[in-house]
Structure 1
């Protein structure tokens, strides 16, 4: 009689074998910025080494769109030419910022890696920003050059920055500097590697700085998960290349796409596939079918839109994994998706993380979701998660508190903002998420979002930023912004405005905000009243009393 095996115990046993002394993913403890943290013993020192390694994948697909196909070898040649051009023509060197303001595509990726090869710091500006937001980003990180597509280059005319257009300047530079040797810039593990923006509760976006160590460690995490999957399938882990093909539907200025899809593929030899234009279910599923996509990391809004489509019309037999990221996923949506996609035979997972954590802090596998659909899973390799009370003390299992995270993936800090960095990361390198939750049975459940944060279709929206804009309108005496439930987007943005009767209407205010902020931050629901806003004893608006 065969003895039953606990699946979770089997997973733990496989992980232990892969991370044991002498194993390919051996874990050890080393000082990281002065704090002992578990890291992989056998790792590359920086992203330049990851890039050089990618040449081994040769003519395999790396970047694929609906009408372009770029191999690893072609990518390496383009990166080398652009890096040389940036150094020779624009004086870009170690520590200089190279801005990228463009829609998803191969040229975004080539620009990122060209900056890496020079030890420069690519800055992924939000491609949906309005002109004032773009102006702030440029002044905040002062890039030596900005690489932009034609649509967004127009926003940079008055910025004073040197602008290279993706459509015209890049092809000319790639042709002129083809075959040139790339400068070899010494880099430390804790040197800055990238800046990505996250909305800030102070009303201004904050530049999250991730290090060389962060991004190499995230790539190694993905190599580790590939090895785990190989063992589960009865195969021996190999050094690659991987035959997986990853669909990229979230913007490259997010960690979900850049850190966890595009960068690790240079380490694993797999391909990334970009749909063109705005998200469209039919177009995306046809691309999955054509390119034999195996993995898709989607925001819940995208996944929910599949519920209105007959997925049996498409050949999704290659799609083995669908992960839901960037926003909370309701148990109801998970249940509906499991039923809707039952014939596709894919693994459904969710995760929890934030820009500051670099990658997911926890992942809920199908095994975890079978036990608890509300869970966001267990900490991934290298991550420690604690729940702390208001005094910073760790609380018992099942007790709600603030979610705190420590790992080699956690950001260095916020660009040029020591105060905000100190508030987010303590002396022992624990990141305070500002989210609240509980841990039970090793699994994390998120109880509440960061204070007042609105999550609209996977995009973070902070009320203060919108309130700061509204308050500049001459007719607005007071205002409050908050999120309300939305069946498709998860949440939509609502605003209550205090103004004298007849002095302003919703359409005027909507246009006023739209001219100053990205479209997803513009309130879609409005209430204009002469009544004062409800406030607590300290004078803060109590948004919960304003629910629409």
Structure 2
């Protein structure tokens, strides 16, 4: 006689055992900023504690690129030296902002840990920003110091010359020099509170300006515990792999939560290796890194996954890959099925839903979820309270569409120096109103029906139409315009614009002029690639709002 076990029931029992009173990942209910929140009882209280504990991993590799490898011990020594230099040589104090304007590199990670460990706030500027956007970020965050790669240093020099400001800037070579300047420096620390800010990451603004999502030590350390618990969960289900023997591919930008909060940070705590890809995503160098460093875990955006499907991967050894996940952008059930059938390492594909404001995933879908409910984003993760609410803020029954609202220890503090935007997003009792519309099914799984404020997600990057519309409206040939997402096979969506020209505007070459105008003010991924010139005013409702559903831009 055989006995069948419900895998969901088994999973719930394992999680209950790991989070029960006295267990390693015990959950408790405490007051956080005036609201009851579920917390990991045995979490760290400050990020410098994670750095201090990481030295036990010694000569194991923490970060590996195709050019170099840095052990946990070497990393701790470099961060300690850099932290001392930031304090003593550059006057960085607790609460000061240290901005990073750079593509991915080891220096980015070193600066983050050095700043966090002395109580400073790391500001991750989007490396694809235009000079105008970067200038706004500097004005908004008011950093004490900026670290920049060569491309961004040139932008900063242009800003300094135009605005006649003295910008304290360190190049990547300066970071390396300072990371070796004080070889005997002790491990850094700071007397920070759990809810002190640690990181500011920018999201595109619904009203035209990027907003600085501000994350605390509590937020980031809760994410660390979540990932540590996932390692324990895998072990409980029979995975014999020591977490220190896993290697995680880091290929998405460090100015995103997917790479910083959910990869570089927790892997210092678990002793796992980070395989850091440098430069834009290209299949060959990425796959060579996967092969050489024996990558086991890869989280990709759908754009990357599509390029893998189009490439010949037969020359590469991918036998080490055991976990492949999609994140950061919506993906179709059809794409997921192609991945499962065409890529051996994606046979147990998982998906998730999260946002910059939530620091980590809000919900995650395992292979069973995706098989039973294609398109689902799964169940809320441990520690997340989730409600689907109507327009009056009342929870709705399963199967009824509403706004997804979440409360957790992962949720951001708010938007940096923007009380109005914070109050619109984080409301009574610390509930985060995502603005995303979704439905919860009878099994408790979440599916999205639309993204907030007509958000466009192009290759994993958020583009808010209002921001692009604001720039286009500045052009003298534009009477009115609307920006919307257009379906794209590889990127998921591309940015499209419908423009009504002013009377007397020269129509010949208008698209080129507008594209050049937008490129001077916006990051490249926000510049429309699909255009339509309308000969009549945009359709509007009785309140004057443009009726988007009546406007066609699809091919």
Q: Quick one: distance in 2 between partners of 1:25 and 1:353?
A: 22
Q: Quick one: distance in 2 between partners of 1:42 and 1:181?
A: 25
Q: Quick one: distance in 1 between partners of 2:332 and 2:517?
A: 33
Conservation of the 8 A alpha-carbon contact between 2:496 and 2:531: yes
Match of 2:194?
Answer: 189
Matches within 5 A, 1:337-416: 337-341=339-343, 343-344=344-345, 346-416=347-417
1:124-151, CA deviations, whole angstroms, 9 ceiling, x for partnerless residues? 0000000000000000000000011111
Match of 2:541?
Answer: 536
Match of 2:215?
Answer: 210
Range with bigger deviation, 158-167 or 376-385? 158-167
Alpha-carbon offset, residue 234 of structure 1: 5.8
Match of 1:149?
Answer: 149
1:465-488, CA deviations, whole angstroms, 9 ceiling, x for partnerless residues? 111111111111111111110111
Q: Quick one: distance in 2 between partners of 1:176 and 1:16?
A: 48
Q: Quick one: distance in 1 between partners of 2:425 and 2:99?
A: 25
Conservation of the 8 A alpha-carbon contact between 2:107 and 2:176: no
Matches within 5 A, 1:118-517: 118-157=118-157, 158=160, 160-167=166-173, 169-233=174-238, 235=240, 242-341=244-343, 343-344=344-345, 346-440=347-441, 441-499=443-501, 500=503, 501-503=505-507, 505-517=510-522
Q: Quick one: distance in 2 between partners of 1:234 and 1:537?
A: 60
Q: Quick one: distance in 1 between partners of 2:15 and 2:176?
A: 45
Range with bigger deviation, 174-183 or 425-434? 174-183
Unpaired segments ≥5 residues, structure 1: none
Q: Calculate the TM-score normalised by the size of structure 1.
A: 0.97
1:369-400, CA deviations, whole angstroms, 9 ceiling, x for partnerless residues? 12112100001110111100000000001111
Conservation of the 8 A alpha-carbon contact between 2:78 and 2:110: yes
Conservation of the 8 A alpha-carbon contact between 1:8 and 1:367: no
Match of 2:58?
Answer: 58
Match of 2:94?
Answer: 94
Q: Quick one: distance in 2 between partners of 1:481 and 1:174?
A: 45
Unpaired segments ≥5 residues, structure 2: none
Range with bigger deviation, 110-119 or 343-352? 343-352
Conservation of the 8 A alpha-carbon contact between 1:83 and 1:115: yes
Q: Quick one: distance in 1 between partners of 2:494 and 2:105?
A: 28
- How many residues get paired? 543
Alpha-carbon offset, residue 35 of structure 1: 1.2
Alpha-carbon offset, residue 506 of structure 1: 0.6
Q: Quick one: distance in 2 between partners of 1:532 and 1:260?
A: 46
The 3 A distance-change label for structure 1 pair 419 and 483 is: same
Q: Quick one: distance in 2 between partners of 1:180 and 1:316?
A: 41
Conservation of the 8 A alpha-carbon contact between 2:340 and 2:347: no
Alpha-carbon offset, residue 529 of structure 1: 3.0
Q: Quick one: distance in 2 between partners of 1:259 and 1:308?
A: 30
Match of 1:41?
Answer: 41
Aligned-pair Cα RMSD in Å: 1.4
1:436-477, CA deviations, whole angstroms, 9 ceiling, x for partnerless residues? 011111111111111211110000001111111111111111
Q: Quick one: distance in 1 between partners of 2:233 and 2:105?
A: 30
Q: Quick one: distance in 2 between partners of 1:223 and 1:171?
A: 30
Conservation of the 8 A alpha-carbon contact between 2:76 and 2:187: no
1:88-117, CA deviations, whole angstroms, 9 ceiling, x for partnerless residues? 111101100000011111110000001011
1:149-196, CA deviations, whole angstroms, 9 ceiling, x for partnerless residues? 1111111121532000003x1232223223223553201111101000
Range with bigger deviation, 129-138 or 470-479? 470-479
Q: Quick one: distance in 1 between partners of 2:264 and 2:187?
A: 21
Secondary structure of residue in 1 paired with 2:245: coil
Conservation of the 8 A alpha-carbon contact between 2:80 and 2:188: no
Range with bigger deviation, 128-137 or 266-275? 266-275
Match of 2:79?
Answer: 79
Q: Calculate the TM-score normalised by the size of structure 2.
A: 0.96
Q: Quick one: distance in 1 between partners of 2:134 and 2:187?
A: 30
